[in-house]
Amino acid sequence: MVKNIYIIGLGLIGGSLALSIKRKDPTIHIMGYDLNGDQASLAKKLGAIDEISPTLFPNLSAVDMIFISTPVQQTINIIEQLQSIELKQGVIITDVGSTKVKIVESAKKYLNGTTIKFIGGHPMAGSHKSGILAAKSQLFENAFYILTPSENVTAQDLTCLTNVLEETRANFVEMSPEEHDKVTGIISHFPHIVAASLVSQAEKHEDQFPLLKRLAAGGFRDVTRIASSNPAMWRDILLHNKGPLLHLFDEWIAEMERIKSFVANSESDNLYSYFDQAKQFRDELPKKQRGAIPSFYDLFVDVPDYPGIISEITGYLAKEEISLTNIRIIETREEIYGVLRLSFQTDHDRELAIDCIRKYSNYETFII
């Protein structure tokens, strides 16, 4: 039975894990550590942890489970240092890193044996905010939580971990570290590269076209949202998932050459088929299932352009106690309808907002 847990890293992910564990079983004693002392203090005030560890490696001899919730390279460094720390026999150690091969290899090298059970983990959930104040117990609800257990991990060990994490309400999936890194490379890591590349390409033309930045404020900004992610984190992810990504670079270059040839040779049928096939595949993607990239729960509302329209809409939402994360007018011109984009934390909040706006007005709402 798990009675004592130690969480290293009390930001968005570590804090949310702590809150969900506490929601399931308040009697579990959680000790936490963060390089930022203010984060640790806030975590204790919020009830995410019971005790703040003054050092990275306190007395861990009675700890049943350790969560390492730090960037990938820091996680590897911590695993290496854990080999010289006295740990409880049978302790389960897990992480939340977005690449798995190098982390699992490190665990095999430094924590190999039957007394320590390492289970690689990657909760595919996040937020566009960071830090303990953004943490919430339901962050992982309906998200995939990938587990990559080491060779000496038993089914009982896996059950022990998933039981502790039961209140996350995540969908636990087991796969090999290699499979994990290839899949996340395709649907998460490489898209971040493409988004950053599109932004970089636009920036190079800014001097030539002074209006470019203003014109990019709408759809282009939305398409490239993920390029605003933490650059240090993405630098490390790309370096730790270099193998699969180098292969994807080759595939992408070949794909661009193929499309380039369609355009150069005016192959209209092939161009139509290319975009049609992409549309079909994209339209078949699950709409409510959470994936590797944090979802944007946006709702678009056609509204007339007159003073007070924003306060009118937000007033409706306030009546129903529906929280917004962002609001923006995409386009308004005199005497025509504009588009109001409302952003929410969850799909559930967005659905509530749709019902709310229909209840109090005749404004049309739509989801892209």
Domain boundaries, given as residue ranges, for the chain: 4-175, 180-283, 297-366
> Which architecture, in CATH terms, is 297-366?
2-Layer Sandwich (3.30)
Structure tokens at 164: 């502790």
Angle between helices 242-264 and 190-204 (to 10 degrees): 50
Question: What would be the CATH architecture of the domain defined by 4-175?
Answer: 3-Layer(aba) Sandwich (3.40)
Residues 6+ apart with CB under 8 A from 293: 187, 188, 191, 226
- From residue 113, give the alpha-carbon distance in Å to each of 52, 75, 107: 29, 19, 10
Residue of 121 and 321 predicted with greater confidence? 121
* Distance from C-alpha of 223 to C-alpha of 299, rounded to nearest angstrom: 16
Mean pLDDT to the nearest integer, 226-230:
84
pLDDT class of 334 with cuts at 50, 70, 90? very low
3-state secondary structure of 72: helix
Share of the chain above pLDDT 90, in %: 64
pLDDT at 341: 84
Contact present, 33 and 40 (Cβ < 8 Å): yes
For the record, the structure tokens of 242 come out as 């270099």
Instruction: Give this prediction's pTM.
Output: 0.79
User: How far is 217 from 189, CA to CA, in rounded Å?
Assistant: 24
Sorting pLDDT into bands at 50, 70 and 90, what band is 185? Answer: very high
Name the percent of the chain in helix, strand, coil, to the closest 5: 45, 15, 35
Measure the CA–CA gap between 121 and 330, rounded to whole angstroms.
39
DSSP structural state of residue 84: T
The closest alpha carbon to 55, from 76, 37, 41, 75, belongs to 37
* pLDDT score of 169: 92
Residue 124, classified by CB atoms within 10 Å of its CB into exposed (0-12), middle (13-18) or buried (19+), is buried
Q: Are 158 and 44 in contact (CB under 8 A)?
A: no
Listed ranges 65-74, 128-137, 353-362; the one with the highest mean pLDDT: 65-74
Residue 330 pLDDT more than 90? no
pLDDT the model gives residue 338 = 64
Residue in 338, 358, 361, 362 with CA at minimum distance from that of residue 350: 358
Which pLDDT band, with edges at 50, 70 and 90, does 336 fall under? very low
Q: Write down the mean pLDDT value for the chain.
A: 89
Which amino acid is present at 68? I
123 bridge partner residues = 145
Query: What end-to-end distance do the CA atoms of the chain give, in Å?
Result: 46
Pull the structure tokens for residue 46.
């919020």
CB 111 within 8 A of CB 81: no
Average confidence (pLDDT) over 303-320: 85
Q: How is domain 180-283 classified at the architecture level of CATH?
A: Orthogonal Bundle (1.10)
Q: Examine the pLDDT at 83 and tell me if it is beyond 80.
A: yes
Nearest to 52 by CA among 68, 40, 64, 36: 40
210 Ramachandran zone, left/alpha/beta (phi>0; psi -120 to 50):
alpha
Contact 172, 162 (CB under 8 A): yes
Give the model confidence (pLDDT) of 17-43 as tens digits: 999 999 999 999 999 999 999 999 999
What is the distance between the alpha carbons of residues 7 and 18, in angstroms, rounded to a whole number? 8
**What tens digit of pLDDT does each residue of 137-170 get?**
888 888 899 999 998 999 999 999 999 999 999 9
Question: pLDDT, tens digit, for every residue of 51-69?
Answer: 999 999 999 999 999 999 9
Q: Where are the alpha helices (DSSP H) in the chain?
A: 12-24, 37-45, 72-82, 101-110, 155-164, 177-184, 190-204, 212-215, 219-223, 231-240, 242-264, 268-283, 309-319, 347-360
C-alpha–C-alpha distance, residues 300 and 331, integer Å = 11
